[in-house]
Structure 1
Amino acid sequence: MASIDEQNVLTLLNREIKPGQSAKVNFNTAKLYTQTTVEVPIIIERSMQPGPVVLITSGIHGDEINGVEIVRQVIAKGINKPAKGTIICIPVVNVFGFLNMQREFPDGRDLNRMFPGSKSGPLASKVAYQFVEEILPIADYCLDFHTGGSSRFNAAQIRIDKSDNELIKLAHIFNAPFIVFSKTIAKSYRKSCMQLGKPVLLFEGGKSSDSNKEIAEIGVQGIQRVLSHLEMLREEFTPFQPKQKSIIIEDSAWMRAKYSGLLHVKIPIGKRVEKGEYIAIITDPYGSFRHKVKSTQSGYIINVNQSPIVYQGDAIFHISKDK
């Protein structure tokens, strides 16, 4: 199990990292069919000054590239070199999925539904178990980065439990455009963090198999604001402070397609719409059918289905509910 001793020496995966040191430790999860070992690189940066341990993760779903890009930029720009404490970055947790641009593990299981895992379970469960046992215990704060699934594009948002005042404070410090109150999913990474008493911010932005410059910038800036709050951000970095504070979303609902056809979205992600507002068109391929989609409620558009073709009943817009 990971630990920090009285001399402030960090031990992670049987590797000792002293104050002021940098290290790259490989988390060996399993082997490919060819017996080639699959390693998950963990980048560790330590200050000479003691302080919190911040664990930054992405790629729990292998096809969620935006999160990977956010953590990559944090490392490439040196933001992960702390003024005090320790920053641990894992840009790609699910290397198996990343190699194949797939959400799941090769066994078809979703890693984010396998926590805290099992020592003798299937592959995804074993990886979750090792992560919880050998890495997570050392963290004081966790930042986890995700995107919308399939072709559904999420507005940049932090998801937290509305009953946790510390997380609400941290979410406002991160200052993504939206803070979404959402229940914690059973067997998720976020659930394991909460069970171990680790404050965790879950960031959602963009869609899978896509890299969006604006979403990446929001994520990187949010990380800097949190590190600055913890007094871990070095002086050469100055996080941008948006004029607008995060909009809190307490409840939301999906709008579904009434017809199958080609979807033409007419409004930008994050826009506030009024009930009855014209937001999209569904057409057939032959020019004989045209249906105007109107918002079923007033609120903010926090997710848009960007698939060019939809079927009747498909979720097309996720809209917040006004209280």
Structure 2
Amino acid sequence: MSLRKINILDTEVKPGHIYKLNFNKAKLYTSTVIEVPVIIRRAHKAGPVVLIMGGLHGDEINGIEVVRQIIAKGYNKPNAGTIICMPVLNIFGFLNMQREFPDGRDLNRSFPGYKSGSLAGRFAHQFVNEILPHVDIVMDFHTGGAQRFNAPQLRVDPGYEKSLELAHVFKAPFLIHSGKLKGTLRNTCMELGKAYLLYEGGKSFESDKHIVKIGVQGAKRVLHHLGMLGTSFELPPVVPDSVVVHSSKWLRASYSGLFHPKVPYGRFVEKGEYIATITDPYGSFRHKVKSNQTGYIINVNQSPMVYQGDAIFHITSHDGQEKPKEEI
């Protein structure tokens, strides 16, 4: 395989070199330039171009930490091919400590963007046209939002074999079959023929060492599978295959009040099993919450207070093909 020419952000990426470029579309109100670092390392040997990114939502700290550790530990130094790292894509939301872009839009509903659209749309357009054309594989690291804690999981469209193969290599505890969603980076990558892995774990504004470790190890497995992980690095430990989730269902609160979950994420529960209580602040009301189906809990609402109708647990639909009852 011959080395192809790669030119990113008006910079020729030469074999054996390291680059730190600035991907930037807008300034602050003060005209202050805000850098969105793009860290690129290219090997002398030909191979795929992998983009490892986090912070598409500004409040998703776990994803940012996964990419930071990959850089800090040198896993982004490829034995072959090219690795591009963007630890904080939505730097504006990160600085403002909020999920959205400054224009109030969700960047992950703004793809592929518009050249003359909103700020989020323009940013997405630049990313799709200046970064994605050079990329073969994307690993995108996220967390749950709104106080909802996601069990470590990958989300992949089951009809897209390129992504599905790599998802089984990554080996997150849960592999969730999830279809296309308009406006997302995942949908855009699929339309452009890019393999795309979406990792979810933990919740916003929180750094969880366990969630981060699983993300880093999964990325190492994929890089090793592609022949890109340096030979000096130890391989991640062998872990069981992912629990494949074909369908799932939210359990919603029947009452408003103080919420007390009784089971952790990753737990396998039976339909009708007691998993939480909802109480009032005055000691006169106590409602037992029971599971609405048999399966694994892949998301727990960790807010201490809920309203009637709030999503409180996300539970997989047990089809008889999952692992025996256990806590993951």
TM bin, normalised by shorter chain, reads: over 0.9
Q: Is the aligned partner of 1:237 residue 2:233? A: yes
Q: Which of 70, 83, 87 is matched with 1:87 structurally?
A: 83
1:301 is paired with a residue whose SS is: strand
Query: Is residue 192 from structure 1 mapped to residue 166 from structure 2 by the alignment?
Result: no
Distance in structure 1 (CA, Å) of the matches to 2:226 and 2:210: 25
Q: For residues 126-162 of structure 1, what are the alpha-carbon distances to aligned partners after superposition, in whole Å with 9 as ceiling and x for unaligned?
A: 0000000000010011101111111000000000011
Deviations 1:217-255 (A, max 9, x none): 000000000000000001122232343210000000000
1:48-127 matched pairs, under 5 angstroms: 48-127=44-123
* Residue 149 of structure 1, aligned match among 145, 148, 152: 145
Please point out which of 215, 218, 224 is paired with 1:219. 215
For 1:243 and 1:218, the matched residues in 2 are separated by 10
| CA distance in 1 between partners of 2:37 and 2:168 (Å) | 30
**Secondary structure of 1:221's aligned partner:** helix
Q: Note if contact 2:3-2:45 (Cα within 8 Å) is conserved in structure 1.
A: no
Could you say which residue in structure 1 is the equivalent of 2:263? Answer: 267
- The one-letter code matched in structure 1 to 2:66 is I
Partner of 1:133: 129
Q: CA deviation at 1:7?
A: 5.8
Residue among 11, 14, 30 paired with 2:10: 14
Structure 2: which amino acid aligns with 1:240?
P
What is the distance in 2 between the residues matched to 1:7 and 1:230?
16
Question: How far apart are 1:9 and its partner, in Å?
Answer: 4.2
Retained in 1: the 8 A contact 2:171–2:239?
Answer: no
Q: Assess if the C-alpha contact under 8 Å between 1:254 and 1:316 holds in 2.
A: yes
- 2:307 matched to which residue of 1? 311
Say yes or no: does 1:201 pair with 2:224: no
Matched, 1:288 2:322: no
Aligned AA (2:225): H
The percent identity for this pair of structures is: 61
Q: Which amino acid aligns with 1:215?
A: I
Q: Distance in 2 between matches of 1:39 and 1:212?
A: 26
SS across alignment from 1:39: coil
Show CA shifts across 1:179-220 (max 9, x none). 001112101101110010001000010111111000000000
Amino acid aligned to 1:134? E
Deviation, structure 1 residue 268: 1.1
Instruction: Find the partner of 2:29 among 25, 30, 33.
Output: 33
Q: Which runs of 5+ in 2 are unaligned?
A: 320-328
For residues 26 and 242 of structure 1, the distance between their equivalents in structure 2, rounded to whole angstroms, comes to: 37
Distance across 2 between alignment mates of 1:29 and 1:134: 11
Alpha-carbon distance in structure 1 between the residues aligned to 2:202 and 2:187:
23
- Larger displacement relative to structure 2 (221-230 or 183-192): 183-192
Native 8 Å contact 1:29 1:40 kept in 2: no
Aligned to 2:326: none
8 Å contact kept, 1:8–1:18: no
| Map of 1:3 onto structure 2 | none
Aligned residues: 318
Query: What is the alpha-carbon distance in structure 2 between the residues aligned to residue 90 and residue 166 of structure 1?
Result: 22
CA distance 1:119–1:279, change in 2 (3 Å): same
Alpha-carbon contact 1:117-1:125 (below 8 Å) kept: yes
Specify whether residues 313 and 135 from structure 1 end up closer, same or farther in structure 2 by C-alpha distance, changes over 3 A only: same
Q: Which whole-Å CA distance do the structure 2 matches of 1:240 and 1:15 have between them?
A: 34
Alpha-carbon offset, residue 84 of structure 1:
0.6
> Are the counterparts in 1 of residues 47 and 82 from structure 2 also a CA contact under 8 Å?
yes
Moved over 6 A (4+): none
Partner of 1:297: 293
Q: Which amino acid aligns with 1:50?
A: A
TM-score, length-normalised on structure 1? 0.97
What is the root-mean-square deviation in Å for CA atoms of aligned residues?
1.0
Per the TM alignment, residue 8 of structure 1 is displaced from its structure 2 partner at its CA by 4.0
1:277 equivalent in structure 2: 273
1:169 aligns with 2:165: yes
What is the rounded CA distance, in whole Å, between the counterparts of 2:45 and 2:227 in structure 1? 11
Which one-letter code corresponds to 1:280 in the other structure?
A
